[in-house]
Each structure stands twice: as C-alpha cells, then as structure tokens.
Amino acid sequence: MAQPLQIVVIEGTTRVKRESIHAARLVEAVGKDFDGIEVTFVDPGDFDLPGDGNDPEGKDPKYTAITAKADGFFIVTPEYNHSFPGSLKRLLDSEHIGVETTLQVVRDGARREAVVRPVELSRAG
C-alpha cells in the first residue's frame, strides 16, 4: 500500500480576530475526507520562531519535523497591504519553503480581484 500524501495546511496569520482561520480549518477538514491524504494543520502562533529565520537556532524543531515530511502545502492567508503577513513569511523563511504561485482572492475589501502571481522563494536542499 502506498504511503499517504502528507499535506500541511498553513494558517497565515496570528491576529486575534483573524477570519482566515475559519477557511483554513475548512481546508483541513475537507482534506481529511480524502483517502490517501494525511493533513497537518499549522498555526504560526503554536511555534517558537525567534529571530529572522536565517539561523539554525531560529527554528522550532516541531515545525521543522512537520515540514520535513510534507509532500505539499496549502496556505490560507489574508492579504496585508498587497502582500502576506509577517507571521507567514517567518514560517516560510524558517524552512526555506518555496511557493511557486499563489491565488489571491479578496473578499469584502477594497481590492476585489483575483490575481495569480509567482512568489520567488526556494527550498534549500
């Protein structure tokens, strides 16, 4: 029997009144309904990630273990001023996770467009 696909669902912000957590939890629940897929939920507030992410001591071993076994990532995040939150950047920088493209859809905001654009990051190793 084949090993299950390991998908990590990342909630992109730590704000107290965040609304994106509901969408992220929905993605997690839907993913768990599929045979052959194991879903791990990542909330950036659950990890200790000091510094800027470019040093080994700035990693959280629990988060490192999750990303090491991941086959893919599903990121749910709000838009902050045409970009993404610092908490998400810190998670991505910590493990040098590469994101090929993002699909951005804004709801109830001034920017009501859907944009597909590349995010230039790379995963080391």
Cα–Cα distance between 76 and 22 in angstroms, integer? 10
42 in any annotated domain: yes
> Cβ-count burial of 42 within 10 angstroms (0-12 exposed, 13-18 middle, 19+ buried)?
buried
Q: What is the CATH number of the domain that holds 10?
A: 3.40.50.360
Q: Specify the number of domains making up the chain.
A: 1
> Under a CB-based contact definition with an 8 Å cutoff, are residues 106 and 23 in contact?
no
Mean pLDDT per 10-residue segment, the chain (125 residues): 90 90 92 94 91 75 92 83 79 74 52 43 42
Domain for residue 106, yes or no? no
Q: What is the pLDDT of residue 40?
A: 97
- Other beta carbons within 10 Å of 91: 26
Neighbours of 109 (CB within 10 A): 9
Is residue 114 one of the residues assigned to a domain? no
The model's pTM: 0.78
Q: Which residues form the domain of 12?
A: 5-97
